[in-house]
Structure 1
Amino acid sequence: MRKLIAGINMTLDGFCDHTAINPDDEIHEHYNGLLRNSGTLLYGRITYQLMESYWPSVVKNPSGNAPMDEFALIIDNIEKIVFSRTLQHVDWNNSILKNQVIKDEILELKRQTGKDMLVGSPSLIITMIRLGLVDEFQLMVHPVVAGSGLALFAHIDDRIELKLLRTKTFSSGAILLCYEPKLRE
């Protein structure tokens, strides 16, 4: 059975804002490994459009930065499922469009053999949490206080207890926190 991993970059004050952080080579290498171990990416419209607007151009015109160029190639080739009620089509390589999240469809994907699934959109992470589908959280906390923005857990109403699996500190000061939800007794 494949795990559904919620992986995201965030600031120390809990905001998901890609403009507030500057991932270095070491962090790109971490995400390269995570993507290599993932068979499917799940995106919401906003994150998909953000990623699709940048990474395919790096595939066509490499930056010369090996970890970034490798990230671009890996993410270009991985299966991407985009959930959106407004998009009419998706053009990025290996992308398919779904207009709604259906719990049974995600459970069926999890039951398949193969590499884990990765969800990396804040709103979609919340949806997957509410449906009880997240098996692991990988939160990359950067040493930045943004002061405002999109708070990852702002729309969670119920208490969720987590078990720490591991941590990793990066030379930039970012810390990876890996948790799994504790089973309710």
Structure 2
Amino acid sequence: MPNVVLMMSVSLDGYIEGPNQDISWHRDSDEIHQHYNDEIRQLGALLSGRVMYELMAGYWPTADADPDAPATVVEFAGIWREMPKVVYSRTLAQVGWNARVVREIVPEEVRALKGDAGGDLWVGGAGVGGAFLRLGLVDELRVYVHPVLVGQGTRLFPEGTDIAASLHLVENRVFDNGVVLLRYGRD
């Protein structure tokens, strides 16, 4: 059965974004972007909250229209547009690009989606990721630690969040830009 995978980039001090949703500190390279493409291409669906969806929808639908876009960006734009997406939001009325809105995270519905998926399900975003963890729905964490200190912003795991989990290291990898993948399974 497919896994639910929380897959996020994080600064060394634990932030997924700086103030004002700043992610300019992400260390991209062709190697890591190709890795992301290869991983995401195999997924059954992308699950996110409104903020993550709007961030992605604000760039990826037309990213490949830029004649100067690297091949990995062009490739990912096509992957993102075609990938089925579930957006957890109480406020969005409609979404595009092969996405649908779901108002609440209902564990039974997530398990049914997991059973029907043609591949792992990616969960992204601090709010939705935290909710999935609290509900015991995350099977695997893939944390991409970027060698930067952000200092403030949105934490991957907010303080005071009840998400206790025992994990075991499945894989680690260092990319050419200093980003380290830490892949954990749940015990």
- Equivalent-residue separation in structure 2 for 1:19 and 1:165 (angstroms): 29
Answering whether residue 15 of structure 2 is matched by residue 15 of structure 1, we say yes
Superposed structure 1 runs of 4+ greater than 3 Å apart? 59-64
TM-score when normalising by structure 1: 0.93
Paired amino acid for 2:112: E
> How many correspondences in the alignment?
181
Calculate the TM-score normalised by the size of structure 2: 0.92
Aligned to 1:116: 120
Does structure 2 retain, via aligned residues, the 8 Å contact 1:15–1:150? yes
- Residue type of the partner of 1:98? V
Contact 1:25 1:68 in 2 (8 A): no
- Alignment check: 8 A CA contact 2:87 2:100 kept: yes
Residues 1:167 and 1:106: Cα distance change in structure 2 (over 3 Å): same
Partner of 2:20: none
- Once superposed, what is the RMSD of the aligned Cα atoms? 1.3
Q: Is the 8 A contact 1:62 1:69 kept in 2?
A: no
**Mapping 1:130-141, distance limit 5 Å:** 130-141=134-145
Counterpart check, 1:103 vs 2:101: no
State the partner residue of 1:53: 58
Where does the alignment leave 5 or more consecutive residues of structure 2 unmatched? 18-22
Identical pairs, percent: 37
After superposition, the Cα gap between the structure-2 partners of 1:158 and 1:45, relative to the gap in structure 1 and judged at 3 Å, is closer
Q: 2:3 corresponds to which letter in structure 1? A: K
Amino acid at match of 2:141: F
Matches within 5 A, 1:1-185: 1-17=1-17, 18-61=23-66, 63-91=68-96, 93-112=97-116, 114-154=118-158, 155-182=160-187
| Structure 1: segments with no counterpart, 5+ residues | none
Q: CA deviation at 1:82?
A: 0.4
Contact 2:130 2:163 (C-alpha < 8 Å) held by counterparts? no
Structure 2 CA distance for aligned equivalents of residues 66 and 135 of structure 1: 32
In 2: Cα distance, 1:45 partner to 1:64 partner: 26
Task: Tell me how far apart the structure 2 counterparts of residues 24 and 138 of structure 1 sit (CA, whole Å).
Answer: 18
